[in-house]
Structure 1
Amino acid sequence: MFLKGKTALVTGSTSGIGLAYAKALAAEGANIVINGFGDADDIEAERKALETLNGAKAIYSDADLTKPEKIEEMMKQAADEFGGVDILINNAGTQHVDPVEEFPVEKWDLIIALNLSAAFHTTRLAVPYMKEKGWGRIIATASAHSKAASPFKTAYVTAKHGIAGFTKTIALELAQHGITANAISPGYVWTPLVENQIPDTMKARNMSREDVIEKVLLEGQPTKEFVTPEQVAAIALFLCRDEAAQVTGANWSVDGGWTAE
C-alpha cells in the first residue's frame, strides 16, 4: 500500500499493458484514472474491479487523446476528483504497417498524435501539480522500437524514438523537483495492439500468420517468448517506489534481449 493517497492516470488502460499498469498501481493503494476505448460494459467492469483491489477509487475518462482539448478535459477531471495526478503513465498507442510510399497520411497523423503528441499534452498539464507536491513519477511506454527500427513501421518507430528523447528531456528539466521521468521499452507483448498488426504484416511481407509470429514478431527476441503485460507493469511499480528516486531519464528494455544484439 505504498501508493495510498496518490493518484495515477494511465492512458490507453482499458486493456493490455495499460490495464496491467492500472491493476498494479491500484493494488498498492493508488487512486486510478483509466482511459481508452472499448465496450462500455467491459470498461465499467474493469473500473469496478480496480476499486476492489485495495479500496482506492477508480474513474474512467473516454478522452480522445488525438485532441488536445479532450486531454485538457481529462486532466481537469482528474484534478477535480483527486486534486491532481501524482503518477502519469503515457501508454496509449496504435500501430499501422505499410511501405513508406503506401503509408496513409491519415495513419501517420494519427500515430504521431496518439503515440507522441498526447504524451506532451498530458505531461505539460500534470507537471505543475507534481512540482507543487515536490513528488511525481512520469513513465512512458516506449518500445524496443525506441532503440531499433523495423521496416514498414515509419510512424510508430518515429513516435517511439520521439518518446525516448522526450523522456530524457523532461527528466533533466524536472531533476531538482522530486519528479522522475523514465521510459519502459517492451519487445513484443501479446496484446490486442500486437495481434491486430498481424494481418497487415502478412500482407506487407506476403507471409502466413504463423511465419509472421515466428519470423517477424519473435525473430528479434532471443528468448523466443512474448513479454507479458504484468512483467512490464512490475517495472513501472518499481519506478514509483522511493528506492527509484534517483532513477530518471532511463529507458528500460524488457524485450527478451532484442536490443542487446
Structure 2
Amino acid sequence: MEFNGQFVTGKVSDKNDDTVFVQYAGITMPVAASEFDAKLPAVGADVTGFAYEDEHHHPRMTTKKPKISESQYAYCEVVATRRELGVFVDAGLPDKDIAVSLDQLPLETYLWPQRGDQLMVKLSIDKKDRMWAVIADGSIISQLSRRARADMLNQDVTATVYRNKIVGTFVFTEAHQLGFIHPSERDVEPRLGQVVHGRVIGVRDDGGLNISLKPRAFEAIDDDAGMVLAVLEHSRDGKLTLTDKSSPDDIKKMLDISKGAFKRAVGHLLKARKITLHDGYIELVDKQD
C-alpha cells in the first residue's frame, strides 16, 4: 500500500453499526465506528485518518493519532520479541505493532528489550512502504535533554536505558537528564529500554549525571545486620552489651544467631556508619530521643 503510514482524506463508501468504510486511491479501509464521538459520517462524507496495514496486512484506517510519526519521537512499550526480526512496540495503532529491526539492537540478545520495556522511537517508512520504528540515537536524546541541577547529588532517579556500550550504560531520566552508569556501579548490565532506579553519585560539568544502581551502604545490610539494628533501635539507650569478643553462647542466647553471623552483621553496620564499637558494647550512632 503506497500510502501506508500516512494521513489521508478519503470518502465514506459504506457503513454499519460497527464499521465505517473509507475509500482512498481505490482502496477501502475499515474504521471502527467507536472512533467517532458523535453520529457516524454519512456515505460520501470526507474522513481524515492514519492509513496503515494491520498485522494481517489488510488496509486499515484510524482517526486516532499514533504516538509516533516520521518527525516525532515518543516512548513506546515493547510488546513482543522475534529473534530473527527484532522487537515490536505498541505505537497506539489498533491491531498493529511496529517492528524495531534487529540491526538497531545490541549484538548480545540478553541486552535486547523485554516485554514491558520502553524504547524512544519514531516512525520510518522504507522503500517497500513498510512501517518500522527507529530508535533515537544519542544526538536525538541530547536534543531532548535538560541540564541537571547541581544539588541533585545523592538523589534517587528513575531512568530508561537508551544505549549499551562497553564503557557503560547510557540512560535518560524521567526528568529528561542524561545519565551514565559505569560498569563498577551496577551488579548486572541493564537491558536496552529497561527502566532502572538508581541514585546520583555525581553531577558533571556538562549537565549530565553519574548514576549508581548499587544500594547505599545502609540499604545493603543483610537480614542479620537488620535484626541487630532493630534491637539497638528498640533498646532504651541505643546500646547492646555484645561485641566481637562476646562468647558464642551469649550471642546465641541474646540474638539467636551464630558468632560468625554476628561479626558479619557488626561489620556491615560499621561500614554503614550505623554503630560504634566500645569496650563491652556496641552503640547506635543516631539514637532517637
Q: TM-score, normalised by structure 2?
A: 0.19
Q: Which has the higher contact order (CA 8 A, sep 6+)?
A: 1
Q: TM-score, normalised by structure 1?
A: 0.20
* Higher relative strand content: 2
